[in-house]
Chains A and B, each alone.
Chain A
Amino acid sequence: MKFTTYGRSLHDLNLLKDQGVDEVILEPKSLSRFGKLSAEEFISLSQRSRELGLRVLLEWDILMTEDVFVACAPEIQNLLPYADAIRVQDPGALHWVHTQTNKPIQFIAENGNHNLKALESWIKLSEGRIERLILSIELSKNTIADYVKKLPVPCELLGFGRILLFYTPRPLLSSLVPAKVSQNEEFAALGESEESPHKGFPIVENQHGTFMFHIKEFCLVEFAHELKEMGLTYFRIDQRWEVPPKLQTLMSLIHVFNLEQFESFKSEYSQDLMRGFYLVNKTDVLFPKLKNSRLQKREGNYVGEVLEAEKSSHLAILVKNPKGLKESDILKILHPKGETFETKIYSLKNIALEPVSKIPAGEIAIIQFVGGVWVKSQVFYQDE
């Protein structure tokens, strides 16, 4: 398993070389979400990286409306000769690099892309130009193991770093700052809400928009060996927010994991750490509770819905089944709370209170009252 991380200075490059890392992600300010490098700085760091034997990965990970895309084009053209591969997330950037350059592409599939077919399809769409897929951290370990085995290109996973929760192009913080300091290019804040138990979300606004991160950083250091065994090719370490960066300590823990040292590292680190969904992802288990399932059973022998339940008088049922409702039909009525009632229709009237033998779909049937039945109860034919 290899390591990849970001470089923002000559010092960073030397450190990477010392740690045996053989590539570096460089982020131009105009193309990368959290980039700090001017074009000149990018070129200079790229040249130095190559001298050190580091492969240069240009991160072009902003999402771009058409006007922004057009504005980015000259910059990316200018920097292309200084990059060995381009990392993109916007499908438009993927298509541009594919059709306008011969550079290898590293596709950031970190948002969505939670099925193998999607990942395979990205590779197919780029006609073999994707040299690496950067997987979502929402994938659990079994899924990662499966994908790493089946995908025809090497995979990368964030192994340590901030978890990006939210990305908008709109400036959300600067308007809250008094005018005298509003010339700043970047704003940062910590946010908390009474409606959430989590306190201290790091929030950043820069020229590309506003970003919110999780209060805890993502850490798979203790599972690095497992990931290596699975066949993961690249383990990414993101220390862009940590001052000073703890790259050396992290690398040494990954190479030789020691629980005591790890606990000591965690206690000294600036943020709490979490493993996210690495062990299991159950983010759909609450869905059935989001709606009343008893109101959803409307298939097959469904008749319609009770619109009025007038005690000791009648039930008014909006008939929805094309078969309609007729006298002597036996009905099963499902109360919104789950209780069921049965009744045989012995009194059937239309809306003008005229006795009829049948009520067609789309009209209201007035039948005898059935004790316990409420409005919103769902009505079914019993005999199917």
Chain B
Amino acid sequence: MNKPIKLPEVLAPAGSLDKLKVAILYGANAVYVGGQKFGLRTAAENFTLDELREGLSFAHERGAKVYVVLNSFLHDKDLAELPEFVRYLEEIGTDAVIVSDLGVIQTVREHSQIPVHISTQASALNVHSAHLWKKAGASRIVLGREVSVKEAGKIRREAEIEIEMFVHGSMCMAYSGHCVISNFTQGRDSNRGGCAHSCRFEYSLEGLDTLEKKKAYFMSSKDLEGLRVLPEFIEEGIDSLKIEGRMKSHLYAGTMAKVYSEALRFYEQHGHFLSDDLLRWEEELKKVSHRTYTQASLVEKAGPESIFNERENSSDGEWKMVGPVIEATPEAGIILEVRNAFNQGDELEILPFSGEVIKIKVNEMMNLAMKPVTRTRPSTLVRIPFVPGVEGMQLIRQKVNA
């Protein structure tokens, strides 16, 4: 009899309550979120106390978990405000907190029994480090992105602790927590949420044994993409696969949760990835805005080929998010919140929560007041004919220049 396959958890980013719902509906087993303080994404919408409670309730009703990030390196004055928040997190049933600062760990343990996950920000990279964090009270470690899957498996076995690894998303070029460029050049503490992304700048370099100055985005990393490494993650028993990107869009959160959870379910059923679906999933991953993908250090140590030596592009890539479905009923039709305009006659793709995309051609559409329109405007609601299978919170996208 075949040994049952233990699948890793798919852990998706949720920069807001809506994104939490999107990620879970699209298949994430868990999400990580930030409150208004103590995290590293100061500019993100983040969660109010009420939203945290609602998000946890939404997740638990669907069997998903919510981890709250407290992964700033806090100063004493910040730490003083933490106990009250921690007690609230425990009261609402938070599944774990993600922490990088030993002072924060101690504070969490003094004021609650919430499980503690060590953030990648702590740059835990080896077996002995895992032993130490375990001794400090951690139940899980989010390893640094420099660690290979094989090394991670060894750390898990020898330290006997849950291991979480990044599988997808933007990457710090520096060891996480070991970059203070923003602190000293912009007066913004990168390790308290003020990172100015100086590593994405173009630099002019001189003195490099060459005659002329060289211009390069030499500190910018390509984005991580670990789809084809999933069998290794499973083989090594990695407990959780984390998708980076709390600042990213609903489309990103939904697409990532859907692709990685579908791929893992396929593996669970078939014991392999030998399928055309792999190509389809890869295509899906390319449909969200991203830098060139790399496997970084998941298999081999990341070398010069992992540098993204290009200017940042703020566009959505080849596909744009048209908007989320707000409501969908046979009587009222599909009510869509328009984020990017489209025209009557355009072809759109609706992402169902599972399964293949639904392609539609918008032959008719109306505004909310039931008046026909031929072109939509961003920041409006539009009504298109109902399509079976479409539900609220599903995402609709369109190929750019279609």
Q: Out of B50, B128, B204, which one reaches A92, CB within 8 Å?
A: B128
Asked if B201 is at the interface of the complex by the 8 Å CB criterion, the answer is: yes
In the assembled complex, how far is the CB of residue A224 from the closest CB belonging to chain B, in whole angstroms? 21
Query: Interface residue tally of chain A, by bracket?
Result: 35 or more
- Contact A116:B131 (CB < 8 A) given known A65-B125, A165-B184, A352-B332: no
**8 A Cβ contacts from B195-249 to A:** 198-199, 201-210, 214, 216, 218-219, 221
What separation, in Å, do the CA atoms of A173 and B309 have in the docked complex?
12
Residues of A within 8 A of B106 (CB): 117-118, 121
Asked if A243 is at the interface of the complex by the 8 Å CB criterion, the answer is: no
Do the beta carbons of B304 and A171 come within 8 Å of each other? yes
Asked if B372 is at the interface of the complex by the 8 Å CB criterion, the answer is: no
- Contact A69:B127 (CB < 8 A) given known A287-B193, A307-B337: yes
Residues of A within 8 A of B173 (CB): 166, 168, 170, 172
Stretch at the interface among B60-68, B140-148, B256-264, B276-284: B140-148
Asked if B299 is at the interface of the complex by the 8 Å CB criterion, the answer is: no
- Contact A364:B381 (CB < 8 A) given known A65-B151, A287-B194: yes
What separation, in Å, do the CA atoms of A66 and B50 have in the docked complex?
42
Do the beta carbons of A115 and B332 come within 8 Å of each other? no
- Contact A165:B180 (CB < 8 A) given known A170-B173, A171-B304, A308-B381: yes
Do the beta carbons of A281 and B75 come within 8 Å of each other? yes
Do the beta carbons of B179 and A166 come within 8 Å of each other? yes
Contact digits for B168-200, partner A, Cβ 8 Å, 1 yes 0 no: 000001110111110111011101111000110
In the assembled complex, how far is the CB of residue A336 from the closest CB belonging to chain B, in whole angstroms? 11
**8 A Cβ contacts from A239-254 to B:** none
Q: Out of A283, A310, A318, which one reaches B192, CB within 8 Å?
A: A283
Q: Out of B125, B148, B302, which one reaches A90, CB within 8 Å?
A: B125
Most buried by A among B100, B175, B179, B184: B184
Do the beta carbons of B125 and A63 come within 8 Å of each other? yes
| Closest residue on chain A to residue B129 by CB atoms | A92
What separation, in Å, do the CA atoms of A192 and B125 have in the docked complex?
31
Stretch at the interface among B41-49, B90-98, B265-273, B285-293: B41-49
Chain B count of residues within 8 A CB distance of the other chain: 104
**8 A Cβ contacts from A42-66 to B:** 63-66
Asked if A10 is at the interface of the complex by the 8 Å CB criterion, the answer is: no
**8 A Cβ contacts from A136-183 to B:** 138, 143, 163-178, 181
Residues of A within 8 A of B49 (CB): 299
Asked if B56 is at the interface of the complex by the 8 Å CB criterion, the answer is: no
Most buried by A among B75, B122, B128, B337: B128
Q: Out of A65, A203, A310, which one reaches B148, CB within 8 Å?
A: A65
A residues with a Cβ closer than 8 A to B are 63-69, 90-96, 99, 111-119, 121-122, 125, 138, 143, 163-178, 181, 184, 187-196, 198, 201, 203, 212, 214, 276, 281-287, 290-291, 295-296, 298-300, 302, 307-308, 310, 313-314, 316, 318, 320, 322, 350-353, 362-364, 366, 375-376
What separation, in Å, do the CA atoms of A316 and B327 have in the docked complex?
13
Do the beta carbons of B204 and A93 come within 8 Å of each other? no
- Contact A283:B187 (CB < 8 A) given known A176-B214, A192-B203, A364-B327: yes
Residues of A within 8 A of B369 (CB): 310, 313-314, 353
- Contact A171:B133 (CB < 8 A) given known A143-B76, A282-B187, A291-B42: no
Residues of B within 8 A of A302 (CB): 48, 50
Do the beta carbons of A181 and B209 come within 8 Å of each other? yes
In the assembled complex, how far is the CB of residue B200 from the closest CB belonging to chain A, in whole angstroms? 9
In the assembled complex, how far is the CB of residue B82 from the closest CB belonging to chain A, in whole angstroms? 10
